[in-house]
Amino acid sequence: MNEDGEVGDIDAEFLGEEGKAVSGASRMEAAYGSGDGDDDLTAQVAKTGVVAGTIFDTTYRPWRGELNPRWMRNWSILRHHLLGFVKKGHRPWSIWMKLALFGCLIGSMGDLAMAFLGTVIGDTDLYRLFGASRGNLYGHVLGFFPRNALCFPLIAALLIGGMISEDRRHGTSAIYFSRPIERRDYTAMKFLTVAIVLSILIVGTLAIYYLGDILLRGEGWSWLLDTFPMFLAAALAGFLLVFTYTSIGLALSSVSQGRFFPAVAFLAIFLVSKLLAFLIWQLFERSVIYLISPYDCIAHLGQTMLGISSSYDHPWTWSLVSILIINAIALYVLTSRVSSMEVTRE
C-alpha cells in the first residue's frame, strides 16, 4: 500500500476490499512472474545494452476521412493481382510464370517475325505463309499447334492455378469478405485479372501482328477495308477464347485448394476432350463429338466468323450452343463456390 493507504499498481489486490477496484492486474503480474516478488530471491539479469522490449502507452489518433466508392475498392483488388508482375508488395508472380508468359508472348509474335523476314529478304512465298491474311489471322488466335495446344492453355493454367484456390486454402478470402467487398466484385476482379493477361497474350498480339503487317507492307486503305472485318472477327473469336479459358479455369480454381489440381484439370479438359473427340471422329467420321471440346467449338465459330471453310460437318450453331452451355456451367460452379467461401450454410 502507498502512503494514502491505497493499493498500489503492483501490490496484491484482495477481492471485496472496500472501495477498491479489482483489476486482476496483480494476479497477472504473479502469473507472468513480473511482479515485485520476494526480496530474498535472486535473479540473473541480461547484460547492459540488451533491449528487452517496450510496452507502449498508446494514443489513438482517429482518421475521419471519407471512404471512397465501390469502383476504387474493386480497382484495389485488380491492381493487387496485376501489379505483382512488375512490383513487390502485391500478389507475387513466380519467376517461372513470368518466364512462361514472356516466352509465349515472344512465341505468339513468331508469325510477324517471319513476315518481317520475308519482306526484308524479298521472299514472297515466306510472306504469303506468315503475312496477314484470312487464314493467318485465324491461325494467330485459333491455330491448334502450338498456340492452343501449348502456349495459351499453359499460361491460362498457370494463371488460374492459385487465383481462388489459394484464397480457399489459406483463408485469405476472409480478409476480403470482412471488408465492404461484395462477392460478385471479388469474383469479377479475379476474372478480369486472368482475362486481361490472356487478352494481352491472345488479342493484344493479334493487334500487334495486324498493325505490324500494315506498317511492314505500307498497305493502303483498300487493303485495310478488305482485311479489317477479318481482324475484328479474329479478335472477337479471341475474346471468346479468353472468356472460355477464364471461366473454366476459375471454376476449377474455385473448387480446389491448391495450384496443381486446377492447372492440371484445366489442361486435361482442353487437351483430353480434343484428343477424345479426334479419336472418335477417326473411328466414326462424325464431327459432332467435337462439341465436347471447348477449343473446337470456338474454332468452329471462328472459322464461320472469318469465312474459312469449316473442318467440321455439323452446323456452327451447335458449336455456339455447346460453348454457351460450357461457359454457363463453368460460371455457375464459379459463382456458387465463391458465394459459399468462408461461409457455412448448414
Q: How far is the CB of 13 from other proteins (least distance, A)?
A: 9
- Where does this chain touch other proteins (CB under 8 A) — which range of 26-34, 94-102, 142-150, 315-323? 26-34
Tell me how far apart the alpha carbons of residues 287 and 300 are, in angstroms, rounded to a whole number.
11
Q: Which residues does 94 contact at the CB level (< 8 Å), separation at least 6? A: none
Q: How far is the CB of 344 from other proteins (least distance, A)?
A: 6
Number of chain positions touching other proteins (CB under 8 A): 71
Tell me how far apart the alpha carbons of residues 54 and 145 are, in angstroms, rounded to a whole number.
63
Among 5, 19, 49, 53, binds other proteins (CB under 8 A): 53
Should residue 94 be labelled a site residue for other proteins when binding is judged by CB under 8 A?
A: no
Cβ burial, residue 276 (10 Å; 0-12/13-18/19+): middle
Among 8, 103, 135, 180, binds other proteins (CB under 8 A): 180
- H/E stretch holding 235 reads helix 221-254
Determine how many CB atoms are found less than 10 A away from the CB of residue 295: 24
Should residue 217 be labelled a site residue for other proteins when binding is judged by CB under 8 A?
A: no
- Tell which positions 6-25 bind other proteins, by CB under 8 A: 12, 14-18, 22-25
Q: How far is the CB of 65 from other proteins (least distance, A)?
A: 6
Among 2, 48, 178, 282, binds other proteins (CB under 8 A): 178
- Where does this chain touch other proteins (CB under 8 A) — which range of 90-98, 137-145, 150-158, 242-250? 90-98
Q: Which three cell numbers, joined as nine digits, stand for 140?
A: 494467330
Cα dihedral sign, 162-332-184-76: positive
Angle (deg, nearest 10), helices 221-254 and 260-284: 120
Among 36, 123, 182, 226, binds other proteins (CB under 8 A): 182
- Tell which positions 117-176 bind other proteins, by CB under 8 A: 170-172, 174-176
- DSSP assignment of 85-145 equals GT-TTSS---HHHHHHHHHHHHHHTHHHHHHHHHHHHT-HHHHHHHSS-HHHHHHHHH-II
Are the CB atoms for 300 and 316 separated by under 8 Å? yes
Nearer to other proteins, 5 or 65 (CB): 65
Should residue 85 be labelled a site residue for other proteins when binding is judged by CB under 8 A?
A: no
Among 6, 8, 9, 34, binds other proteins (CB under 8 A): 34
**Greatest distance between any 2 Cα atoms in the chain:** 105
- Tell which positions 61-80 bind other proteins, by CB under 8 A: 61-65, 67-70, 72-73, 76-77, 80
Should residue 27 be labelled a site residue for other proteins when binding is judged by CB under 8 A?
A: yes
Are the CB atoms for 154 and 254 separated by under 8 Å? no
Nearer to other proteins, 67 or 95 (CB): 67
Among 6, 8, 9, 28, binds other proteins (CB under 8 A): 28
Closest by CA position to 180, among listed 91, 67, 343: 67
Among 58, 222, 282, 309, binds other proteins (CB under 8 A): 58
Q: Which residues does 239 contact at the CB level (< 8 Å), separation at least 6? A: 199, 203
Should residue 2 be labelled a site residue for other proteins when binding is judged by CB under 8 A?
A: no
Should residue 56 be labelled a site residue for other proteins when binding is judged by CB under 8 A?
A: yes
Among 43, 50, 55, 95, binds other proteins (CB under 8 A): 55
**Rg value, the chain, Cα:** 31
- Tell which positions 300-339 bind other proteins, by CB under 8 A: 332, 335-336, 338-339
Q: What is the DSSP letter of 157?
A: H
